[in-house]
């Protein structure tokens, strides 16, 4: 079957760094997306990885290891506005995104 495994909730301090891990199993693979979702809002696109390695985009970086079925999202210099849910979504062989429940990130002052 297809499944996503992320921590349910994480807490971090403003200004710090946090890494959100994701392991996945899919039927085929066409890349992995990370989305940010604030409460009551639709998800917004953060990053896309299709090859192994690290993709850096400002304060956010995303890493992928296809052989391990593993990805992480790294958030640096955390700000209060980063409090949100972070969704790891791999794309299967049908180009369909597979969604988990996401990780709720709580930022404390």
Partner 1 sequence: GAVVSQHPSRVICKSGTSVKIECRSLDFQATTMFWYRQFPKQSLMLMATSNEGSKATYEQGVEKDKFLINHASLTLSTLTVTSAHPEDSSFYICSVTHLDSDTSKQFFGPGTRLTVL
How far is it, in rounded angstroms, from Cα 76 to Cα 49?
Answer: 18
Q: Of 3 and 13, which has the nearer Cβ to partner 1? A: 3
* Contact flags string 14-53 toward partner 1, x per CB under 8 A: ----------------xx-x-x----xxxxxx--x-x---
User: HSE of 18 in the Cβ direction (CA atoms, 13 Å)?
Assistant: 22
- C-alpha 1: how far from its chain's center? 20
Chain positions 53 to 82 lying near partner 1, rule: CB under 8 A, are none
CA distance 8 to 30: 25
Give contact residues for partner 1 (rule: CB under 8 A).
30-31, 33, 35, 40-45, 48, 50, 87, 91, 95-97, 99-102
């Amino acid at each position: 079957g297809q499944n996503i495994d992320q921590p349910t909730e994480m807490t971090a301090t403003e200004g710090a760094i946090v890494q959100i891990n994701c392991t996945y199993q899919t039927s085929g693979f066409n890349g992995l997306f990370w989305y940010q979702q604030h409460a009551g809002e639709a998800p917004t696109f953060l990053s896309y990885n299709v090859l192994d390695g690290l993709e850096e985009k400002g304060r956010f970086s995303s890493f992928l290891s296809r052989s391990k079925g593993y990805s992480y999202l790294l958030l640096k210099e955390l700000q209060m506005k980063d409090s949100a849910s972070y969704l790891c979504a791999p794309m299967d062989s049908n180009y369909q995104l597979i969604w988990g429940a996401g990780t709720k990130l709580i930022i404390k002052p």
